[in-house]
């Protein structure tokens, strides 16, 4: 089936990036312009034309977010002069329902819906304990009997929108799949407030868009950068994202030849975001020579994107040690990076200089870990650990705390 082009019902006044390769815009809504308030035919909450927007489950279309004196004074997201947005005093349930009708049946495949949302409240609202808005997306198609059937991946569960000192618009959205062999001329979008009525569940939404993605939905993560640098006896891997949508977690992969890769760790996503997010992973077991890293991201649909690579060449001139768990409870884990295999002596002293525990062991060449077990019977407090090598040279000397 061919997808017929559908004209904009409303147009964006500022450029909006396309969410996927070769995307086709099916519907967009920016709520127009005007310095007066108005209703909207797709809004399902109670329209309140004037006065402070006090009632739970009420709305108006307005050019300023500040429909209560304690809310942010903010224009809409689009950026038009007197551009409007849908302002909501929230309550549980659907607050916006729109049906897109196509003359020809919709093509099977990926459909992406996005919108922008802003929390109306400042952090000290509701005595510093406001409810946070969260909007769920439902995408449905109409079958031959008039029934509305959920597309795959519907509903999309929205993240809570936090308060902020200054007005902040956040992009949210989801990818939905129309299965093969489905014949439908109608797709419906429902936005639902997932937070009950009460102090703080106040927000605005703007710049809706529904897109057909013939090459699949948008990539869930836009990687900005990845770096790797030696830090003590390990390597710190850091990466940044410019945009995250439906992102679930990251796998950190390591190689010595950039051909064969091993997963060495997992970091959970910070959640949906259109701001720069920074992640860190510490590799405690580098190898002598090339240590090559890449980060593979997985979204809620198990699709993935891959970062570029970052590498560190580790050369060892002597022996170094890093205490991993400080404070410690019973045992002390120590990471070594050593050019050669060698004996070491590990001693623990109290603050009066009295030796509390001592242990001798042999450190392997390269990267290794040793667990010091002799401190289990020591009392709580501060101690000094000294590690000496075969020629009595001090490899490590530092304060530790036993909890």
Same domain, residue pair 248 and 305: yes
Question: Which of these three, 314, 329, 347, is where a domain ends?
Answer: 314
Does 97 fall in a domain? yes
CATH number of domain containing 261:
2.60.40.10
**Which range has highest mean pLDDT (62-71, 291-300, 304-313)?**
62-71
Which has more confidence, 284 or 28?
Answer: 28
194 with 72, same domain? yes
Q: Are residues 78 and 52 in the same domain?
A: yes
In a domain, 13, yes or no: no
pLDDT of 238: 95
Same domain, 152 and 275: no
Question: Which range has the top average pLDDT, 92-101, 149-158, 266-275, 329-338?
Answer: 92-101
3-state secondary structure of 230: strand
Same domain, 29 and 157: yes
Is 50 strand, coil or helix?
coil
Could you tell me which residues come within 8 angstroms of residue 267 by beta carbon, excluding any fewer than 6 positions away?
Answer: 249, 250, 252, 279, 281
Report the run of H or E that residue 167 belongs to, with start and end.
Answer: none
pLDDT at 2: 31
The CATH code of the domain that includes 67 is 2.60.120.260
Confidence of residue 60 (pLDDT cuts 50, 70, 90): very high
User: Do residues 187 and 141 touch, judged by C-beta distance below 8 A?
Assistant: yes
Res 274: pLDDT? 61
- 136 and 89 both lie in a single domain: yes
pLDDT in tens, 166-198: 998 988 888 899 999 899 999 999 999 999 989
**pLDDT band at 17; cut points 50, 70, 90:** low
pLDDT at 391: 83
Together in a domain, 243 and 203: no
pLDDT computed for residue 345 by the predictor: 92
pLDDT at 1 over 70: no
pLDDT of residue 384: 93
**Region 91-120: what's the mean pLDDT?**
95
The answer to whether 104 and 68 have CB atoms below 8 angstroms apart is no
**Residue 367 included in any domain:** yes
Largest CA distance in the chain: 87
Residues 36 and 169 in one domain: yes
State the pairing for strand pair 332-338/366-372.
antiparallel
**Taking 80 as the threshold, does the pLDDT of residue 108 lie above it?**
yes
Flag whether pLDDT at 4 surpasses 70: no
pLDDT for 219 equals: 65
- Domain boundary among the residues 213, 231, 256 is at 213
Share of the chain above pLDDT 90, in %: 57
pLDDT of 10 reads 32
Highest-pLDDT range among 155-169, 198-212, 229-243: 198-212
Decide if pLDDT at 6 tops 50.
no
**Structural domain includes residue 291:** yes
Among candidate residues 263, 288, 314, the one where a domain is terminated: 314
User: pLDDT value at position 150?
Assistant: 96
Q: Please, are residues 208 and 97 in contact by the beta-carbon 8 Å criterion?
A: no
- Cα-trace Rg, the chain: 29
Strand partners, 252: 265, 295
Residue 114 is assigned to a structural domain of this protein: yes
Preceding amide of 327 cis, omega within 30: yes
Q: Which residue has the higher pLDDT, 136 or 303?
A: 136
Q: What is the pLDDT of residues 229-256, one digit of tens each?
A: 988 778 999 998 877 777 889 999 999 8
Give the model's confidence band at 99: pLDDT under 50 very low, under 70 low, under 90 confident, else very high.
very high
89 and 165 together in one domain: yes
- The tally of domains found in the chain comes to 3
Kindly tell me if the per-residue pLDDT of 115 is higher than 60.
yes
Same-domain status, 72 and 105: yes
Residue 3 lies in a domain: no
Residue 55 scores a pLDDT above 50: yes
Mean pLDDT (the chain) is: 88
Domain check: are 53 and 180 in the same one? Answer: yes
CB atoms within 10 A of CB 399: 11
Is 216's pLDDT higher than 80?
no
Least confident of 15-29, 151-165, 191-205: 15-29
pTM: 0.58
Query: Cis before residue 155, ω within 30 degrees of 0?
Result: yes
Bridge partners, residue 352, by sequence:
none
- What pLDDT is attached to residue 18? 66
Confidence of residue 306 (pLDDT cuts 50, 70, 90): confident
Asked if the model's pLDDT at residue 342 lies above 70, the reply is yes
The reply to whether 346 falls in a domain is yes
Domain range for 232 is: 221-314
In a domain? residue 6: no
Answer yes or no: do 335 and 383 share one domain: yes
């Amino acid at each position: 089936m061919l997808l017929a082009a559908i004209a904009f019902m409303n147009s964006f006044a500022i450029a909006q990036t396309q969410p996927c390769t070769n995307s086709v815009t099916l519907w967009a809504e920016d709520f127009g312009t005007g310095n007066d308030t108005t209703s909207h035919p797709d809004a399902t909450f109670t329209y309140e034309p004037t006065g402070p927007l006090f009632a739970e489950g009420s709305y108006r279309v307005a050019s300023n977010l500040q429909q209560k004196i304690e809310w942010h004074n903010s224009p809409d997201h689009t950026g038009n002069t007197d551009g409007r947005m849908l302002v909501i005093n929230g309550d549980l349930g659907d607050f916006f329902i729109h049906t897109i009708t196509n003359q020809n049946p919709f093509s099977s495949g990926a459909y992406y819906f996005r919108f922008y949302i802003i929390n109306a409240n400042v952090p000290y609202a509701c005595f510093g304990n406001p409810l946070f808005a969260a909007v769920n997306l439902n995408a449905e198609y109409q079958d031959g009997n008039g029934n509305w059937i959920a597309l795959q991946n519907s509903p999309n569960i929205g993240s809570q929108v936090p308060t902020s000192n200054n007005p902040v618009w956040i992009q949210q959205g989801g990818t939905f799949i129309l299965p093969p062999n489905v014949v439908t001329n109608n797709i419906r979008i429902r936005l639902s407030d997932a937070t009950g009525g009460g102090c703080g569940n106040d927000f605005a939404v703007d710049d809706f868009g529904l897109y057909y993605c013939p090459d699949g939905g948008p990539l869930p993560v836009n990687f900005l950068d990845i770096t790797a640098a030696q830090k003590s006896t390990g390597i710190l891997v850091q990466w940044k994202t410019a945009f995250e949508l439906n992102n679930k977690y990251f796998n950190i992969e390591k190689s010595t030849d950039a051909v064969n890769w091993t997963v060495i760790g997992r970091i959970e996503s910070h959640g949906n975001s259109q701001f720069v997010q920074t992640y860190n992973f510490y590799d405690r077991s580098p190898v002598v020579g090339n240590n090559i890293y890449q980060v593979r991201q997985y979204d809620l649909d198990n699709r993935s994107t891959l970062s570029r690579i970052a590498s560190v060449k580790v050369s060892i001139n002597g022996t170094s040690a890093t205490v991993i768990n400080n404070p410690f409870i019973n045992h002390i884990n120590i990471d070594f990076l050593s050019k050669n295999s060698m004996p070491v002596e590990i001693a623990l002293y109290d603050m009066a200089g009295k030796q509390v525990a001592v242990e001798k062991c042999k450190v392997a060449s390269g990267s290794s870990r040793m667990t010091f077990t002799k401190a289990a019977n020591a009392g709580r407090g501060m101690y000094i650990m000294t590690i000496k090598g075969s020629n009595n040279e001090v490899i490590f000397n530092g304060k530790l705390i036993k909890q």
